[in-house]
Amino acid sequence: MSAIEGLLAALPADRVVTDPDVMDQYRHDRALTATAGKPLAVVRAQCVDDVVATLELATATNTPVVTRGAGTGLAGGANAIDGCIVLSTAAMNRILSIDVGQRTATVEPGVLNGDLATAVAERGLWYAPDPSSRAICSIGGNVATNAGGACCVKYGVTGDHVLALKAVLANGTVINTGSSVRKNVAGLDLTKILIGSEGTLAVVVEVTVRLRPAPRPPSTLVAIFPSCEAAGAAVIAIDAVAEFSLVEVMDRTTINAVEDHLTMGLDRSAGALLVVQSDSACAYDDVVAADEVCVALGASYTAATADVTEGAAILHARHSAIPALERSGATLLDDVGVPKPRLAELIAGVEAIATARNLTIATFGHAGDGNLHPTIVYDPADPIAFETAKTAFGEILDVALALGGTITGEHGVGQIKRAWLPSQVGETERALMDGIRRVFDPSGILNPGKAT
């Protein structure tokens, strides 16, 4: 029996797609530079049994399986491989329970991050991990990439909020990891092993997350610096005055793009702009203290506010970075991290690449975590420009590695960063990763060629 015949026999007919036009929508994520193969079939799973049947069949026929959430990934992790089954968990999108007493929620993997956040907010609770894509990305994808966001500087990434998982192994066996108990140290932490595994170890079919009480309204500081060095020094120095809930940076290229887009009166000659928020019980005192630090370190302009609407307007500038850049061309978003004292060197290294390659590269991101998104703008109609952009993308990874950093702070390795992994992770450590993959997936059918 062929894999397709097997799928059609094992699953209700509406779950299996073989129409090439429909399958085309399941071939790519949002990574522009990643290649995508042609799948044999797409399975739109609606329940755990669908996932089990698909994986049993895939194992029996030795067919590769690419699991797909909402397809918003930026590393090619969900891109199809020739002859694979794309296993979509998007339709498994029920919020199964919200336990206000325990402050936990259990959801299917296709639930969108933003939908979970809204549902728990209605119960006075907060799901903290806040990727900018939260309105369009799924919790299963967030778990598989260990997604981050702006609030991670204080509250941590997705993995810090996952208590338990239900997942299906390549051979169709259902496993349960972790516990909905808020403290649990029994045995090896299989939950943590699955988090960030980018669809290579198992298919996540249920996620129990930790919730928090609703956050207090934040106070906000904006500080403008003549140079990235001064802004970088401020990012370190403000750590000594409070624990901030958001510390974001924009470089000069980003500031100018945003000013072109929004006309907010931003100083086009500035070297860098910081947005800092605190949501502590003394939030305004915190940002005033940060303000003093920024002024002492040479900020040319600062403004602190406890007004939430004003704060949101300031943050809007940072959130507008990508739409502002997209007005000038296609964008290739990188995702690198460095130790915080080296932030200014990272930005300088990116500027040097932009100059050498005659490219626009705007750098912005989560300064408080040392995680930045240098974003290359290029003409999508010009194949040479695209090749140059790809080269610059790789050179940015090299700069981050040379600074003792990482090739990815939150988007994952996927397909597009795999070639750089050996430069970051030692041989023995990679062998351990390969060994773990073999234990979970002995025949190597889960997302081959991705992640490790």
* Choice between 115 and 198, CB closer to ligand FAD: 198
Q: Is 3 helix (H, G, I), strand (E, B) or coil?
A: helix
Cβ 420 vs Cβ 407: under 8 Å: yes
Q: Which helix (H) or strand (E) holds 432?
A: helix 427-440
- The CA-based dihedral angle spanning residues 207, 208, 209, 211, taken in that order and rounded to the nearest 10 degrees: 140
- Amino acid letter for position 21: D
By beta-carbon distance, which residue lies closest to ligand FAD?
A: 141
Radius of gyration of the chain (CA): 22
| CB-based burial label for 306 (10 Å; 0-12, 13-18, 19+) | middle
- The CA-based dihedral angle spanning residues 187, 192, 193, 198, taken in that order and rounded to the nearest 10 degrees: 160
Minimum Å gap between C-beta 297 and ligand FAD is 27
Q: Which of 64, 77, 271, 311 binds ligand FAD (CB under 6 A)?
A: 77
Q: Is 172 in the site for ligand FAD (CB under 6 A)?
A: no
Q: Is 251 helix (H, G, I), strand (E, B) or coil?
A: strand
* Choice between 8 and 91, CB closer to ligand FAD: 91
Q: Which of 30, 161, 166, 342 binds ligand FAD (CB under 6 A)?
A: 30
Q: Which of 89, 278, 360, 408 binds ligand FAD (CB under 6 A)?
A: 89
Cβ 41 vs Cβ 87: under 8 Å: no
Q: Is 29 in the site for ligand FAD (CB under 6 A)?
A: yes
Minimum Å gap between C-beta 79 and ligand FAD is 8
* Choice between 199 and 405, CB closer to ligand FAD: 199
Minimum Å gap between C-beta 201 and ligand FAD is 8
Task: Tell me how many residues contact ligand FAD (CB under 6 A).
Answer: 35
Beta-strand runs (E) in 149-235: 162-168, 174-178, 203-210, 212-213, 219-225
| CB-based burial label for 268 (10 Å; 0-12, 13-18, 19+) | exposed
**What single DSSP character describes residue 406?**
B
Q: Which of 39, 71, 172, 349 binds ligand FAD (CB under 6 A)?
A: 71
Q: Is 250 in the site for ligand FAD (CB under 6 A)?
A: no
Within residues 422-451, the interface with ligand FAD by CB under 6 A covers 447
Q: Which of 140, 172, 218, 374 binds ligand FAD (CB under 6 A)?
A: 140
Within residues 104-123, the interface with ligand FAD by CB under 6 A covers 109
* Choice between 69 and 218, CB closer to ligand FAD: 69
Binding site for ligand FAD (CB under 6 A): 29-30, 66-74, 77-78, 89, 109, 131-133, 137-138, 140-142, 144-145, 147-149, 198-199, 203-204, 410-411, 447
